[in-house]
Homo-oligomer: A and B are copies of this chain.
C-alpha cells in the first residue's frame, strides 16, 4: 500500500537538493513548488558546472520545454554525473511530438544517459514510445491507445518508470501500474502544473528508491494540495498562490484521507 504521507515527511525531513535543468517559462514555479515541499531546488545549466552541481544533489530533473541544443548538451552532462553518482534522473518530455527537433533531442538524451523516470502527457509519451502522434504545443491531444499499455511498453523498452499525467495519472515500471486519481480540473487552466508535477516527482525520487512509489506519492501529495487550493481559488491566479500555500501546509492526515489511488 502506497504511503504517500510517509514520503512527504521524508522530503520535509531530508530536504533533498534537487538539481534542475528546466525551461524558462516555469523555472520559477518549479523552484517554488520544490521549496514549498521543504526540499531545496537548485537551477544550474552551464556546461562547466552541471556535473559538479548534479554531484551535490540528491535528484536531477530535466525538462525540455524551452530546449536548445546547448541546453540538451548540458542536460546530458548533468545526467551522466547523476548516473555516476547513482541519483535518480527524471525527464519531462514537454512538447515532444510538436517538432522533430524535440523528438530527436528526447531520444538523444534517452540514448546517451540513463533516465529513471520519463514523464509527459498522453501524446508526448505516445511519441516517445514511437507512436505517430502530433502534439499540439504543450497541450495534449487525445490518443487512441490504451494508455496503461503505452506506459508499460515504454517502461519496459527503456527500463524505467513512466508517468503519464492527465485526468488520471498513470505510473508504471513495466510490472506494476498505479493510477493517481487526485487533482482538479482547474489545474488545466494554469501554466506550469505539468512542470511542477515533474519537479515534485524529482523531489520524491530523492527520498525513495522505488520510483513508482516515489512518483505516485509525489503526484498524490501535489494533487491533494491542488484540490485543497481549488476549494478557495477564484481563478488561475489565486489557484497558483493557494497551491503553494496548500503544499507548504499539507497535512499528512489530509493526504491519507484524500488520496485516491488504484494499484
Where the two chains meet, the residues of A that have a C-beta atom closer than 8 Å to any C-beta of B are 17, 19, 23-29, 31-32, 35-36, 40-46, 48-49, 52-53, 56-57, 65-69, 95, 98-102, 136-139, 189-192, 234-238, 240-249
Contacts and interface: CB of A to CB of B under 8 A. Distances in A.
B99 A49 contact: yes
Contacts of A139: 17, 40
A235 B33 CA distance: 12
Contact of A44 (B95, B100, B237): B95
Contacts of A189: 35-36, 248
Contacts of A46: 66-69, 101
Given A98-B52, A241-B241, A24 B40 contact: no
Q: How many copies does the complex hold?
A: 3
Nearest to A229: B237
The 7 A-B pairs with the shortest beta carbon distances in the complex, nearest first, are A235-B245, A237-B244, A42-B137, A49-B101, A237-B241, A52-B99, A49-B99
A40 B248 contact: no
A236 B42 CA distance: 18
A238 B236 contact: no
Contacts of A67: 46
A35 B191 contact: yes
B31 A28 contact: no
A102 B49 contact: yes
Contacts of A241: 237-238, 240-241
Given A43-B66, A44-B95, A138-B42, A240 B237 contact: yes
A166 to B, nearest CB: 16
Given A56-B137, A98-B53, A32 B190 contact: yes
Contacts of A243: 237
A112 B58 CA distance: 35
A48 B101 contact: yes
A139 B14 CA distance: 14
Contacts of A36: 189, 235-237
Contact of A69 (B26, B29, B48): B48
Given A25-B27, A28-B25, A95 B235 contact: no
B31 A191 contact: yes
Contacts of A27: 24-25
A137 B190 contact: no
